Structure 1
């Protein structure tokens, strides 16, 4: 069967069920667990993608740090990702970790990837079968080539400029309690606070149950902010849930989207 170009950044469980035998399809399980073992349920034929260790710079000062082009390409190839692969990524929380994987792949030039709407909980809810996860690799080394798109990731120097740039809207995905400094940050020792000139859109506001809200509802939510022709930079606690906002913005037809990699963990540590 010929390759399929995905037309959306998100697919339904029904789409995956009906297309799970596509020749070039690769299903990635982005769930993060303390011990990813053979007792974990997963969608059949999934390959576990280790965001925390394999697809992050573990030597960086902050968690979930952006990997190098070399690291990304090597680890993606280890997962059997080819230039012509169709990649669907999901996680066991619904939509939480998977958008980070989607955004990393997009940032490194891989376009044929989508998030499974609702993830594993929705897959189970709709009655589709699961299997026990396995550490056995039954695939060949991939041949994907990474091409870094610098416009998709923002780092500390970039966020400092963005706070004084009227053509950039900074949107924080943390809960309103955290954004408004009404509760402590969950990370020990990290001060409360907000990035100057940022606004708040808790990522949970974009969800309906396990799934993203429909496109029209997402657009209505984003329209409550004065974005206009501005570029949009998304932040959160440590660069994970900001990618949920990036996914929703992409679905809502925004073009100039950036994720602040270090997010509040970095900003709150390096500033006073």
Structure 2
């Protein structure tokens, strides 16, 4: 068996199928139930088989997250992240492919978490488990959440990959930065209610609305040639991009799209609207 390096931040079902026997390959299922109005894509009716054989569960919604945070699935500290990842048998030399059971929805956040901790040999499976099933490849009912042997992964935090409300507040009037909001136009402009309770409607002053569905084609992320004009219409190539959404999940879909389009100075606002939209003094416009 040979060792591999992922060819890009996004890999196809065919690529993964052809490299299943690679010595250093680790496949992770980062599925998170989608929040309204986004719906789960269809897998076989009545089937509990949602997982790619040989994969491990990467649960950043309840487990690989800051357990003391009041906000959903906040990024854990470097030490906690490394400890959890080693339990998945992940090594410094592992090639990681991450998928979810919706298409391209929850997996980009897991991809960005690894990159934020200094691991670049990581990719998202385009189309996820749905595309795997459409290719007539096997899915299984259950997968483990721990490997039989611990890995040697060490976190090397890339500061700035995730940011907080203070950082966003500081760059609101900075023309060298752009804030991209992945929520729907209705939520962005305060016309539609937030799916989570007790949050104000609207958006951060100066933010641009780029609903994450615009970078997707059904279950797949759009190709690079389609992503570039979408990103260039929203932000200049020399700007630092900050991404926000409802809870820091779909913001990472835009982060992956920007990365695919060639942008590299990227940061995700971890608390996103779950934090900014709370009643308080942070500025909100509609």
Q: When the two structures are superposed, what TM-score results if normalisation uses the length of structure 2?
A: 0.90
Report matched runs for 1:6-155 at 5 Å: 6-32=6-32, 39-135=48-144, 137-155=146-164
Please name the residue that 2:5 is paired with. 5
Please name the residue that 2:269 is paired with. 260
Shift of 1:83: 0.6
Does the Cα contact within 8 Å between 2:57 and 2:145 map onto a contact in 1?
Answer: no
Unaligned ranges ≥5, structure 1: none
Shift of 1:138: 4.9
SS of 1:73's equivalent in the other structure is: helix
Please name the residue that 1:168 is paired with. 177
CA distance in 2, matches of 1:162, 1:81: 36
Please name the residue that 2:165 is paired with. 156
Distance 1:110 1:4, change over 3 A: same
Distance 1:137 1:230, change over 3 A: closer
CA distance in 2, matches of 1:226, 1:83: 34
Distance 1:138 1:68, change over 3 A: closer
Q: Say which is worse superposed, 107-116 or 38-47, in terms of deviation.
A: 38-47
Unaligned ranges ≥5, structure 2: 35-46
Decide which structure has greater helix share. 1
Does the Cα contact within 8 Å between 1:102 and 1:114 map onto a contact in 2?
Answer: yes
Does the Cα contact within 8 Å between 2:118 and 2:155 map onto a contact in 1?
Answer: yes
Shift of 1:136: 7.3
Out of 219, 225, 234, the residue aligned to residue 210 of structure 1 is 219
Shift of 1:228: 3.6
The answer to whether the aligner puts 1:240 opposite 2:249 as a matched pair is yes
Q: Say which is worse superposed, 101-110 or 151-160, in terms of deviation.
A: 151-160
CA-to-partner distance for each residue in 1:72-122, whole Å, 9 max, x for gaps?
A: 000000111101111000000101110000000000001110000000111
Please name the residue that 1:186 is paired with. 195
CA distance in 2, matches of 1:40, 1:33: 15
Q: When the two structures are superposed, what TM-score results if normalisation uses the length of structure 1?
A: 0.95
Instruction: Tell me how many residue pairs correspond in the alignment.
Output: 269
Runs of 4+ off more than 6 Å:
none
